[in-house]
Structures are given as structure tokens and as C-alpha cells.
């Protein structure tokens, strides 16, 4: 059905405006009754979403125009707070609005009202689904304890950086960092103290690197940092800042591309070797800068 861009505001828009609080209450109750949702489900800021839906019913939004911007803004905020329940709760919204409007729409407006309503809520669900997918992608690449990237994201980003380097010759550095004495902290002070140490190191690294650098936790006590375009001298300066900021001791080693090899494995291996040599010298009381290939 073609939507008339010059059509006057539909009666449904006025009804939703006048009864926003009642529709929001109906929505809450349906969410609590829905067997697909937890019994304590409570859609966040329901009045804002209902008001945005009323606004969408006032203005035609043909399919080719994309999602209604006001509904999209409201659903973005709603999905941020509703999380994985967002789509199920929007199903309940559609039912709540349908029940509220049923039998109250003038006959000449029924077809267009239901078409606009269906389109607006379908678009809202698509927006919620897209946000949920993005959030899952982010969570799949994140270390939950420290909030930095995980091993999967490190390996993907390292491969991407190698590809960029082969095309443009920009070069980059890899730092591998181990927290010193984490096992001892776990054994003597408990795992909560060990977790706190890991979070403290992650914060120290994030606070010290450049905006273009990325931090990852790639093992129990092991972190990695990708530094695009960084020279060996820049790496030394950055890690010196980390050591100054961090209250938790650590050992580190670095490699640079292409000097330390053309593959991810060769770069990580070179950084690991330097880390172990640095740690050994530190234990011998001879803390000296570890040379990094230039």
C-alpha cells in the first residue's frame, strides 16, 4: 500500500499521546505475563518509547526512507538498558498498542494505521536486533575481567596490522607483558586480590598508551599491546610510562615488524624471548633496557 505523504495525522497518534501512561502500564503487565520473558521484566522508559511510536504514526515513513529517526533514537536508548530482553519486550509493546487501539480507529484509517504501526515496530525490532548483534560482537572480543580485548581480538587485529604493513609498509610494534608474581598473590591473598592486580595493570597500560594503540589480555597473567607505526624508541617510552603508573610489577618484551619477522607467530615469539630475558636480568638485579629490533 502506498502511503500518502500528505495524509493528516492519524487518530491513533492522538490516542497514544493521550494515553501514554496507560499504554506503558499495559506494556509492563504483558511483559510480566509473557512466558518468553522473566516474570520481573520491566521495559525501561516505556513512556518514551510509546511517545516515539505516536510520533511515527503522525508522520508517514515509506519503506525506502529507512527507519524513523525518532523511533530509532528511542529504541537505541531502550535497547542499551533492556539488553537481551529488548526484542521480546517489543513484541509485548506491539500487543499492548494493538489492544489499546482495537475498535477505536475510524474505518477509513484502519488500513494505514496498522500499516504504519507494523512498519514502525518492525523497524524498532530491527534496530534492537542490530544493536544486540553489535553488543555480542563486542563481548566476544572482550576480556570480561579487565575490559580490554581478549586473545581472539588480539589475533584478528594482529593479522589485520600485518596486512596493512605489507600493503603500506607502515610498521608496528607488539608488546607482550606478564604480571610478576600473580600466582603468589592468588595463593597468599586470594584470587580476588589477583584479579584486582590484573585490572590494575590493564588500567595502567590503557592510561599510558597512545590513542591508536590497543591493549589485550591474552592469557592468565599475560597482556599484549599493538602499537601501529611505533618505533623501538617509542615503545621504550610508552612502557616506561606504564611502569611509572602501575603499582603492580610486571615484565615485558617487544618486537617490531618487519624487523622481527613477517608472521604473527614470529613477532609474538620475539617479544616473548625479550620478556624472559628482561625478567631474568631483573631477578639478577641488572635491570637494563632490552634491545628491540629497529
Buried b or exposed e, range 91-126, using 16+ CB within 10 angstroms = bbbbebbeebbeeebeeebeebbeebbebbbebbbe
Residue 161 burial (C-beta neighbours within 10 Å; 0-12, 13-18, 19+): buried
Q: Strand order in 172-179's β-sheet? A: 214-217, 222-228, 172-179, 250-257
Cis? peptide before 258, omega within 30° of 0: yes
**C-alpha closest to that of 91 among 47, 38, 31:** 31
| Phi, psi (rounded to 5 degrees) for 218 | -115, 0
From 42, 221, 260, 272, the catalytic residue: 221
Q: How far apart are CA 143 and CA 131, in angstroms?
A: 20
Residue 173: beta bridge partners? Answer: 227, 256
> What HEC string does 171-221 produce?
CEEEEEEEECCHHHHHHHHCHHHHHHHHHHHHHHHHHHCCCCCEEEECCCC
Known catalytic membership, residue 4: no
Backbone angles phi, psi at 87, to 5 degrees: -65, -45
Catalytic residues, by residue number, are 221
Amino acid at each position: 500500500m502506498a502511503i500518502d505523504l500528505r495524509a493528516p495525522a492519524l487518530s491513533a497518534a492522538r490516542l497514544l499521546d493521550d494515553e501514554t501512561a496507560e499504554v506503558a502500564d499495559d506494556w509492563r503487565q504483558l511483559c510480566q505475563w509473557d512466558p518468553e520473558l522473566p516474570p520481573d521484566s520491566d521495559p525501561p522508559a516505556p513512556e518514551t518509547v510509546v511517545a516515539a511510536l505516536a510520533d511515527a504514526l503522525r508522520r508517514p515513513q515509506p519503506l525506502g526512507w529507512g527507519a524513523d529517526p525518532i523511533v530509532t533514537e528511542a529504541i537505541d536508548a531502550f535497547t542499551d538498558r533492556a539488553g537481551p530482553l529488548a526484542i521480546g519486550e517489543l513484541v509485548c509493546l506491539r500487543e499492548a498498542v494493538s489492544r489499546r487501539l482495537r475498535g477505536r480507529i475510524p474505518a477509513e484509517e484502519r488500513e494505514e494505521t496498522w500499516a504504519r504501526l507494523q512498519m514502525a515496530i518492525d523497524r524498532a525490532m530491527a534496530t534492537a536486533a542490530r544493536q544486540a548483534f553489535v553488543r555480542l560482537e563486542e563481548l566476544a572480543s572482550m576480556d570480561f575481567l579487565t575490559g580490554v580485548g581478549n586473545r581472539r581480538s588480539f589475533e584478528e587485529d594482529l593479522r589485520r596490522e600485518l596486512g596493512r604493513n605489507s600493503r603500506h609498509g607502515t610498521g608496528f610494534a607488539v608488546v607482550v607483558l606478564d604480571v610478576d608474581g600473580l600466582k603468589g598473590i592468588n595463593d597468599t591473598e586470594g584470587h580476588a586480590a589477583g584479579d584486582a592486580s590484573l585490572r590494575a595493570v590493564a588500567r595502567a597500560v590503557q592510561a599510558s598508551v597512545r590513542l591508536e594503540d590497543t591493549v589485550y589480555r591474552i592469557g592468565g597473567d599475560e597482556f599484549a599491546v599493538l602499537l601501529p607505526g611505533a618505533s623501538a624508541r617509542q615503545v621504550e617510552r610508552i612502557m616506561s610510562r606504564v611502569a611509572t603508573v602501575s603499582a603492580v610489577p610486571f615484565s615485558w618484551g617487544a618486537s617490531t615488524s618487519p624487523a622481527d619477522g613477517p608472521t604473527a607467530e614470529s613477532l609474538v615469539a620475539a617479544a616473548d624471548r625479550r620478556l624472559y630475558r628482561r625478567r631474568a636480568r631483573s631477578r639478577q638485579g641488572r635491570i637494563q633496557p632490552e634491545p628491540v629490533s629497529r
